[in-house]
């Protein structure tokens, strides 16, 4: 009697289970190819690479009284390289930038050139000599 009750119970539970059988498939696609099912589409596309630097802006000098940014710093990031345009010489009394660094991105070589003031005349408030520096990758803490 116990065997019959167990078989009936198993058949009862089995009636609630779905009869759809799920199978696994391996699909290999080349760039540009796609695979479709009624409720799914898979497309193989080539990985796009950034061709231009990402620009991150933040306020370098803030006016608390007027609650506005007096000078905006820009950080350019591309493929592990980072170049920062910022105010190198700030006049606190005029609340203005007397000389700002600048970044030039050369897309064909994938490099940044940073222009900064090598000799600033604080009496004339002018940069007397500008130098260009090739931006290199920063070494991380592990020395890689």
Asked whether the beta carbons of 41 and 34 are under 8 A apart, the reply is yes
Q: What is the pLDDT of residues 38-62, one digit of tens each?
A: 767 676 766 656 688 999 999 999 9
| d(C-alpha 130, C-alpha 73), whole Å | 19
pTM: 0.62
pLDDT over 90 (residue 29):
no
pLDDT bucket at 117, cuts 50 / 70 / 90: very high
pLDDT over 60 (residue 17):
no
| d(C-alpha 119, C-alpha 132), whole Å | 13
Per-domain residue ranges of the chain: 54-134
| d(C-alpha 94, C-alpha 144), whole Å | 44
pLDDT, position 40: 72
pLDDT bucket at 141, cuts 50 / 70 / 90: very low
Measure CA 140 to chain center.
18
Neighbouring C-beta atoms of residue 94, cutoff 10 Å: 9
Q: Is 36 exposed, middle or buried (0-12, 13-18, 19+ CB in 10 A)?
A: exposed
pLDDT over 70 (residue 70):
yes
């Amino acid at each position: 009697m116990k065997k019959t009750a167990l078989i009936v119970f198993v058949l009862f539970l089995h009636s609630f289970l779905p009869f759809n059988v799920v199978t696994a498939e391996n699909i290999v696609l080349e760039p540009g190819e796609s695979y479709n099912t009624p409720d799914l589409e898979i497309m193989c596309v080539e990985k796009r690479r950034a061709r231009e630097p990402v620009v991150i802006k933040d306020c370098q000098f803030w006016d608390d009284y007027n609650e506005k940014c007096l000078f905006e710093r820009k950080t350019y990031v591309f493929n592990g390289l980072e170049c920062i345009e910022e105010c190198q010489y700030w006049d606190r009394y005029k609340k203005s930038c007397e000389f700002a660094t600048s970044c030039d991105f050369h897309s064909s070589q994938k490099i940044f050139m940073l222009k900064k003031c090598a000799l600033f005349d604080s009496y004339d408030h002018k940069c007397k000599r500008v130098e260009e520096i090739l931006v290199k990758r920063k070494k991380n803490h592990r020395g890689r």
